[in-house]
Each structure stands twice: as structure tokens, then as C-alpha cells.
Structure 1
Amino acid sequence: MSDRAETRTRTSAAARGSRAPIRFTVVLRTPARAAQPLFARAPKRWQRVLPYAVVTAFVLALLPSTITVLTNGYKAGGGWAGALGVAQTVPLLLAVTRPLPAWGLVLIADTVGAVVLTQADQVAGHTWPWTPMSIVGYLLLMVCLGLRESIRTLVGVWLVTGAVGVVLGFYEPDGVTTTIALLFVLSGAFLALTGAVRGLGDAQQRIAEQESISEAERARRTLLEERARIARELHDVVAHHMSVITVQADSAPYRLPGMPEPVQEEFAAIAASARESLGEMRRLLTVLRGDRSNSGYGTDGEYGTGGAGGERAPQPGIGRLQQLVEATVRAGQPVELSLAAGAAQAAPPAVDLSAYRIVQEALANVVRHAPGARTQVSVTHDAREVLVLVVNGPARDAVVPLESSGTGHGLVGMRERVRLTGGTLDTGPLPDGGFRVAARLPLNALTEDPS
């Protein structure tokens, strides 16, 4: 591997590493719909199962611990200890899908437990009103809430937690270690941290959605611009033929003397219709050419000059491929052309123009994405079709990644021109690092009009 390629590899790896935390926050993000489990958008099954496993492990650990501590430490009695242990831990199983109801149940159970412990035999010397086990379970709920609920809901949960602690503080037994402030501070910290993670995931999700929308709009705009550009060129061809029809119909009585009166009237009607159609065509061309100065390109600098001379220039075809290749060679790109005799005469105007533009766009891509690569251009034909083939080898210099959209004058244009003629297009990379463009243009299958 060359130094340049190795540098690109290290840069790409570093970029992927820097994006890893962002991808993690998107995975953590959970939709706000009811009963939607945490980590529902995680790509792997074990990641989606992980919240259930963690909550179950906490419940299995906290349930016996709570009953044991309340029974042996606080001397709350076996019946009360068992009931409080179940009430304070089992609702945690809802935290994965419904954290807000689970929080309500646990807060009620913890509050009832604090009231019961005021009458316990050995509450003095222990923590109150929140026992260590209830604090752990409560903080687990805060994590689930922070990853799920809105900021307004999180603030409300935090304030209710503090308010309940303040109310219980008026009934504090003697000799206890109060945990009101501890739970209030820890719950606020956990809610703030997980809420920030959730917010970052939401922001990244919105950015990704906006990028998708922007990319779709760019692709649609590129396609429309390319179709309009092709329509402008084809309308030039059609306008030429309409002009020929008008001249022939007008001159028919002079070229064919002795023509019966009905026939002369028929030719006059044809000429009038053709002249009216030509006027409509010219008005349409005026509209289509409104932004032409901003849409042209070409390796030989021929198309889209925006000047009046460029507008009056005839449309190029297969017969001008030699000039196009020579201009590309002068620009420093080694190109060889193989042109079958009679290809230009055999192709109708639309195919003739499309073949030229496909070669032009293919060479423009080679110059941009594979500078210095040896390129072969081949145009052959038979009685049914014209085959255009452009193949380039690997680039000798730095390569710009190939883009199928964005500029509107690359693969998109080729696809539209081939679609116009009813042909097929085959493009793709070669094993040696080069690229291949093959277009088949039928001579008698013009089925679509991009306008």
C-alpha cells in the first residue's frame, strides 16, 4: 500500500472512530410512541434485548436484598418487608417499555415504605426515607426516563421527587440518616445526563432525515435539469425538420407544375400547419434556453458557451467525435478513437446527438475522476443499433471519487439520453481499477420524449 493510500485509510478510520459516539446516541434514541421499548432502533438483536436483561438483573438482585434489609436491618416485620420489596422492585420491569407508569408505581411504593419505616423497631441509625435499594432502583428508572421522555416530563419528575422528599422530611424519625437531598441530586444528575444523550440522538436523527430529503431533492433537480438540457437539443433537431417541411410544402407548386387545385390547397395547409408549429417550437425553445448559460459543459469547451454564436451553432454528432478526442488529447488525456465507417450517416439525429454527448460526458468523467488514464473510445453500428463504448484504465494521479449525482452532467445525463432512444446503458468499475461505459442506441426505437 502506498503512503497516500495508507494516509487515506488512517484518515477514514479516524473519521469512523470520531463518529462512533454519535452513532451510539442514535442507537440509544427511542421513539416516543407508547410501549416502544428502549434501544428499539439498535441494529443487532442482542442490543435490543439488552435493556430487558439489565432491568431483569436489577430486579432479581434488588428484590431479595430489599426484603432482607427491611427484615433484619429495620425490623419492619416479614409481611411488610415482603410487600414493600415486591412493590418497590417488580414495577421496574415496566421501565423498558413504559418508564413513566413504572416511575409512578415505584414512587408510591417508596413513599409508603418511608411511612411504614417510621414505625419500624430499628429505623434509628439507618437511612431514611429512601433505603439504599430503593435509591438504586429509582436511579435505574431515571436512566430509562431520560432516554425516553421529553425535557418537560423529566423536569416534572425531578421536581416531584424533591417535593415528596420535602413533605416526608416533616415526619423524619429521630436518629436517621436522611437521604432526601442525596436522591434529589442524584436523580437530577441522571436525568440531565441521559436527557442530553437523548437530545443528541434526536438532533442527529433530524440531521440525517434532512440530509436524506436534501439528497432526494438534489437528485430530482439534477434529473429535471438534465432532461431539460436534452429537450433543448432535441427541439433544435425537430425545429430543423419542421423548417424543411415548411420549405418543401411552400415550394411544391413551383417544383411540380400542373398540380391540381385541391392538391395545391393541401400543400398550402401543410405549410401553414408546419409554420404554426415552428412558431410554437421557437417560443418553447426561448423558454428552455433561459438558463442555458449556466447549464453547459464539455471537454472541448464547445457546449453551453451562453453566447449568441453558441446558440446558432449546429448540434454535434458522431462525425465530430474526432475533434472531441483531439481536444481531449491536447488537454493531456491519452485517448484512442475507433470509429466505424458510415456510423454518422446511419444514425438518425437523436441517436447521432446522443452518441456524441455520451462520449463527451464519459471523457469529462475520465478527465475529472481518472486523470492520466489511458482511454479507448469505440463507436460501431449495424442495421439495428449504434454501440458506444468508452473504457479507461486506472488513474495515474490522484483520483476524485466518482459521483452519480450532484453536477447533473455525468451518469445521469447518459442514462437519460439512453432512455430517450430506448436503448440500454451499462456502467461500472473494472477489476484493474478502470471504468467502463457501454451504451446501446437502437436506430429505430425512439420511444420517449423527455419534454
Structure 2
Amino acid sequence: MSDRARERTGSHPPAGAPARTADPWGPGARTRISEALRAGAAPTPPLFARAPKAWQRALPYLVTGVFVVALLPTTISVLTNDYGMDGGWAGAFAVAQTVPLLLAVTRALPAWLLVLVADTAGAVPLALADEVAGHPWPWTPMAIVGYLVLMACLGLRESVRTLVGVWLATGVVGAVLGFFQPRHTMNSAALLFVLAGVVLALTGALRGLGDARRRIAEQEVISEAERSRRTLLEERARIARELHDVVAHHMSVITVQADSAPYRLPGMPEPVQQEFAAIAAGARESLAEMRRLLSVLRAPDGAGPADGPGGGDGAAAGERAPQPGIGRLQQLVEATVRAGQPVELSLAAGAAQAAPPAADLSAYRIVQEALANVVRHAPGAPTRVSVTADEDEVLVLVVNGPADREALVEPRGPGTGHGLVGMRERVRLTGGTLDTGPLPDGGFRVAARLPVRGGDGTAAGCEANETYEERS
């Protein structure tokens, strides 16, 4: 029964049988190395393949090429002159020990196996050479240098388990060859074993550090994308709650008008009264459905942003108040001025009456978020707010100059990310356009166009609400 079968069945050799020598690499180590060799035989991305510059990607090829060009003639010369090896054999072993270094850039494990076999095979004739006495054996100085270059390539590519296996294999081969060491030679197996371990440890640590930095960068990208997505969903939920309040007002008016129609218009025919009753019932059912939707969208504590240059509607009691609009921009600007920010407001006459509820609310929120960004990022900068409206669209413009150097301090806290995201989402849901960006003088502009009515004459806010409901 084989050892593997005994491991599976739990059987043991009979008493008195000679004990098998334990695997010096640990159970399964040879299998792992063979699997790693098979995986390494396939072409892999070269070293530094992810480097941003071309010269950095070409650097591994250049370094290995320089070592091959330098070690090949040196190895032939040393083997011929110092060890007394025949010139033909010296050239063959020099090629076998140095040329595989070129494979280390893309196939590090097969290159290591070729070099290890070539170095081991070259140690045999060196042991029989006439002038080997007084020289390093079994590894020549050139073989040690080339092997260390190979260890560096392995350390920058392979896993820790593979590196440990390679290091132990190097030590085992050197220890076995030590039993056949010629007299009066310097054993270089221990030197190579120690130097190979140091190089593998250093390059492996560098590889681990690079992998850790890359994972951190990838995680930061993922976190930023997730944060942006969460911010967008939160802003959509906030917009949906506000649109609910706008639509609920109109539905409540419809319900009251339909219920009071028979009393306001006496003598109404019975079919007409039934029609009004059906309209009122449908409106009440729609209100109930919207309240159920709002209970899902509303935060558990019912809290919303505070009213002001950096907030929203206050606590739960504030959410029961009417939604703000263009008519409250004067109060918003006054609050911002009291906070120390110079702001001028230019409000066209009749703009509040011309804007439908959704555009009215969106214009207020855009100005609110724009002023909040100015207070946070450009304190003391002169700011101008302009709102105009006609029968087709509402135009909102917020422009600030460069920040006052004397008033410029560290930001009051990290931004929530809701500012520009919320503006874009509101403008998109109302079918308008938004233009934001820095100005040449160091200031910033926010320009929004909010359509008043859609192509079929319906209010743009209702269309935006329907679009949001469909996409939700």
C-alpha cells in the first residue's frame, strides 16, 4: 500500500517493518512545488507589467540581459582558466547556467528549475577538475550571482509558500552535494543558501507591500463608488419625499373639491355626483398609497436636514411644514448674510408664481446647496444669486468670487457629497440642465435651467415624479 493510500485509510506499516524517512519538506510540499512549476510554465504577465511608463516595463528585460551578457563570457573564462575545465564543456555549462535568466521575467519557476539543474550538473565535472582545489564548490561565484538574480525575480512574482519551497530545495541540493565535496575546496552551498534566503525575503516583502498598496487603492476606489452610489440613493429618497409633499397637496385639493362639489353646485345630476364621488375616492386612495410609500422612504427618526445655508427642513415638526420655494429665497439669503457671507439676491418679479411646485422646490434647493458650498469652501467670497422665470423655464444662477484670504480657514468638516449630486439629480428629474464649474478668477458658478411645462402641457414636476416612480 502506498503512503498516500495509508494516509487516506489511516493504516500503518506492520510492526518490525523499517520506518520510512520523513519528507524533509513536509507533507505535500513536493506536490505543491510540482503544481507551481506546471502553473509557472504558462506565460504570465512580465515583471512590472502594470508600471505606468514604458521604460519601467522594459527594465526587467534590460537588467536580466545585462547580467546574461556579463556572466556568460566571465563564466567561460573562470571555468577554463581557474578550474581547468575543457573549453567546450565550459561554454556549454556557461550557456546553460546564464541564458535561462532571460526567462525569469515571464517564466520564473521554469527558469529556476533549469538553472538549478545546470548548476548541479556543472558541479559534477568541477569535482573532477585538476585545478578545483582552493576554489569555491559546488557553486562558482558566477553561478551564485546568477542564482541570486533569479531569486530576486522569483521573490517579486511568486507566493510565500513557493518561495519557501524554492529556498528549501536550494538547501537540500547543496547539502546532498556536500557529501561529495572534493578535498581542499571551499564549500559555497551554505553561502548560497543564506544569500538566497535574504534575497527571497527582501523581494517577497517588497512584493507583499506592493500588493497591499494595490489592494488598498482598489478598496478606496470601491469605497468611493459605493459612497457615491449611496449618496445618490439618499438624495433620490429625499427628493421623492419632497415630491410626495408637493403632489399630496394637489391631491388633497382635488379630494376637497370633489367632495364639496355637490354642496357648492346644487341641483347636480345624480351621475355627475357619482362621478365626483369616484374622483374623491380615487384621490383618497392615491393619498393613502403615497403615505405608505413615504413611510418606506422616510428615515426612522423622521429627521431631515436643518433649514439654512447648509441644511434642509428641520426635524420632524419641520417636515410637516410647507415645502420651501422661490418665495423663501430672501429669508435664505438673509440667514446666509447673518452668517458672515456677503450675498446679493436678484429675484425676478413673479418668479415664485410662474414656477410649478417641483421647479419651485428644486430652485430653492439648488440655491441652498450652492450657498452651503460657498460657506464651506469659499468663506467671505462675494456671491450673487439670480432667479428668473418665464412661461417656459426657470433660470437659477449662483456665482461666487474667490475666497477671502483673511476669512479662509480649514473646512468646517468633510462634505457629505450631497451638494452637486443632489443638484444634478433634481435637475435631471425635472428634465432640465445643470452647468457647474470654476471661473478664471478662482470663483465658482452654478447655473440651472428648470423647464416649467412638458411638451404636452403637463407640469414638469409631475412628469419628474412619474419618471422617478417608474425608475424606482
TM-score (norm 2): 0.85
- Contact 1:39 1:48 (C-alpha < 8 Å) held by counterparts: yes
> Which runs of 5 or more structure 1 residues have no equivalent in the other structure?
1-31
Q: 2:464 aligns with which of 435, 448, 451?
A: 448
For the residues of structure 1 that align with 2:75 and 2:307, how far apart are their CA atoms?
78
1:143 to 146, 149, 152: 152
* Within-5 A mapping of 1:14-413: 34-291=43-300, 293-299=302-308, 303-308=312-317, 310-396=318-404, 397-398=407-408, 407-413=416-422
Ranked by relative contact order (alpha carbons within 8 Å, sequence separation 6 or more), the top structure is 1
Separation in 2, partners of 1:165, 1:185: 11
Q: Are the counterparts in 2 of residues 298 and 361 from structure 1 also a CA contact under 8 Å? A: no
Amino acid paired to 2:181: E
SS of equivalent residue, structure 2 residue 183: coil
Residues 360-403 of structure 1: per-residue CA shift (max 9 Å, x gap): 11111111111111110000122211100001111112255799
Q: C-alpha displacement at 1:311, in angstroms?
A: 2.2
Q: Distance in 1 between matches of 2:314 and 2:302?
A: 6
Residue 300 (structure 1) shift: 5.5
Kept in 1, the 8 Å contact 2:392–2:452? The answer is: yes
Pair 1:427-2:436 in alignment: yes
How far 1:53 sits from its partner (Å)?
A: 1.0
Q: Which AA in structure 1 matches 2:53?
A: K
Q: Deviation per CA, 1:64-87, whole angstroms, max 9, x where unpaired? A: 111111111111112211110111
Q: Given residue 448 of structure 1, which amino acid in structure 2 is its aligned partner?
A: A
Structure 2 CA distance, aligned partners of 1:299 and 1:90? 73
Given that 1:38 and 1:51 are in contact with CA atoms closer than 8 Å, whether structure 2 keeps it comes out as yes
Counting matched residue pairs gives 418
Gaps of 5+ in 2: 1-39, 455-459
CA distance in 1, matches of 2:332, 2:301: 21
Q: Secondary structure at the match of 2:464?
A: coil
CA distance in 1 between partners of 2:43 and 2:349 (Å)? 71
Q: Which range is displaced more, 250-259 or 77-86?
A: 250-259
Measured after TM superposition, the shift of residue 187 of structure 1 is 0.4
Q: Is the 8 A contact 1:222 1:406 kept in 2?
A: no
**C-alpha deviations, 1:5-29, integer Å up to 9, x for none?**
xxxxxxxxxxxxxxxxxxxxxxxxx
- 1:34 Cα deviation after fit: 4.3
Provide runs of 4+ in structure 1 moved above 6 Å: none
